[in-house]
Amino acid sequence: MNKTTFIRIAVLTTLLLFGNLSFSYGQLNKLYHKVKGNAHRIENAVRNEKARNEAQKEAEKEAAHQSDISSGKTYYVNAATGSNRNDGLSPQTAIKDLQKAINIADEGSLILVAEGNYLGTLDQGFIELNKYMSIIGGYKSDFSERNPIKYITWIRPDATHLATSGAHASMDIYVSGKTNGVVLIDGISFDKGEYNKYCKYNPSDPVSGSPEGCETGRIISVDESPMVPTVGGAPLSVPLLRGNVQGQVTIRNCTFINANDFALSMGCKGGHFDIYNNVFVANRMASCEVRGMLADHSQCSVDFHHNTVLFSWCRTKVMDSQGVAFRYHTGITTKVYNNILGCSNHAALERVYVDANAQVEAARITTATDNLFFMNFNQSGYYMGNADLMLPSGGGKWLFVSAAQFEDVEQLVEYEGNMEMPAEMVEKFSKAIDEAYLKGYLGLNMTQYQNYDRNSAANQLNRLFGQNQQGTEIVRVSMYGNRYPYMKAFDLYGVIDGYGAQLPK
């Protein structure tokens, strides 16, 4: 029954109930339109009231959260105008160094950070957080406005920080003691594109892995030293954001670019991680992982949602392991939803860790819902097709699954709404990606050369003494972990409504 018929019946029923049928059709029609108008007004009022209630709930939720994150004092940090001799309690008396503000602030404090590059004590190249507190970046220098993709708060070391940063992540967070303690990292941008070691850009030299128009050649791993000119610092395997935390952790509106060894790698010692509205681009190993660190996995959980993740590169140029956007770990309830996961060098999602306790594994909750997948093709050479999810195969290799097959993956408690990015979105999304980098990825190829001389002097001696035979293998790749233009990463916010990182509020 449509709405018009329903209203006419309602009018007629009202007349019958009141026993008055001395109305002409015109009067009846007039009354119908009056009731119809009232019905529409009631319907709109109900809809508006529902919207107000939802908005009120969101406001109350945000107010409660703001109350949690600002239970202590508020400190201001400004690299351009601040001084480490200031008290930091007003924009006019801002502290210069973020690490200094962390050191002097009590637990529960809120630290507001203006645009600029923050490199820790004496600009050593890293930040350490060991207290429950909230750090919010992206403020204009006078703190009159906040926009983390316009007023960028960086932690962006370069090659000069190799000797001082050592094995430190760009930000290390190690905090424990309170399951309800709050750690908030909001609007901080991490980049190691000037810190990592790359082959110098040279499209004419296949050793360099330099697609036309890219900033650099391929990234250099710890265990190799190609005979080509290089740029940057050193091949150090250290994440951008690392730590172990007990408590309520929120990481949002952050940008993670050009990590040599994981963008975000953390452990949950009890509590909940909420990781959302971030952009991850050109990170090696994996873009994000959160491990459960307690025997009782029900005490640890992570939500990874509304993030945009592109170009997650494998562990080595052979492209045989890692290289994933998000890794599911044991010991933690994990929900992954409304992300854009694209151009993963091995697979978008990796669920290969299995708990040794069969009962614990059976009770483990992992989900993947309403995600968009974009050009996740395994590059190892032994699989062709969409590699949206990687599982153990049982035969010592991996099983790669497309989003269309998630319904049949028993490990996913919830699986609905996942899909390859529709054609009408692909063009818009592709335009937000650096063109040269995307073209290089589309044309990615790998060539392997093997050489074994049984009669070489070395192999004759090896046989004489019962040693292994020796050969050589050369691997050439057209692209691998090349530096992504850091400012282009911010173009990836707000590209597709409802999916991936949205424009920060």
**pLDDT band of 453, cuts 50, 70, 90:** low
Element (H, E) at 470: none
Does 264 have pLDDT greater than 50?
yes
Tell me: the pLDDT tens digits for 137-194? 999 999 999 999 999 999 999 998 988 887 899 999 999 999 999 999 999 999 999 9
| Secondary structure (3-state) at 442 | helix
Q: How far apart are CA 430 and CA 432, in angstroms?
A: 5
Tell me: the pLDDT tens digits for 292-315? 999 888 899 999 999 999 999 998
- Residue 21 tokens read as 């049928």
Residue 21: per-residue pLDDT: 39
Q: What is the pTM of this model?
A: 0.83
Tell me: the pLDDT tens digits for 22-49? 444 444 444 444 444 444 444 444 444 5
* Helix segments in 70-122, DSSP class H: 98-104
Question: 309 CB contacts (<8 Å, ≥6 apart)?
Answer: 279, 280, 281, 287, 288, 325, 326, 339, 340, 341, 342, 344, 348
Does 125 have pLDDT greater than 50?
yes
Angle at 120 between CA 122 and CA 79, to 5 degrees: 90
Q: How far apart are CA 273 and CA 247, in angstroms?
A: 8
Instruction: Indicate the average pLDDT of the chain.
Output: 85
DSSP string for 320-374 = -SB-EEEE--TTSEEEEES-EEE--SSEEEE-----SSHHHHHH--EEEES-EEE
Sheet of 116-117: strand order equals 116-117, 153-155, 189-191, 255-257, 279-284, 308-313, 340-342, 372-374, 419-420
Q: What average pLDDT score do residues 498-504 get?
A: 97
In 3D space, the residue among 245, 243, 279, 238 whose CA is nearest the CA of residue 261 turns out to be 238
Residue 454: per-residue pLDDT: 63
Indicate the range of 75-89, 142-156, 394-408 predicted with least confidence: 394-408
Domain 70-438+483-492: CATH class, spelled out: mainly beta
- Residue 286 tokens read as 């994996």
Handedness of CA 477, 157, 485, 338 (dihedral sign): positive
144 burial level (CB within 10 Å; 0-12, 13-18, 19+):
exposed
Q: How far apart are CA 13 and CA 150, in angstroms?
A: 61
In 3D space, the residue among 375, 392, 394, 275 whose CA is nearest the CA of residue 335 turns out to be 275
| Secondary structure (3-state) at 389 | strand
Residue 322: per-residue pLDDT: 87
Other Cβ atoms less than 10 A from the Cβ of 258: the count is: 31
In 3D space, the residue among 149, 398, 327 whose CA is nearest the CA of residue 255 turns out to be 149
State the maximum Cα–Cα separation within the chain, in Å, rounded to a whole number. Answer: 118
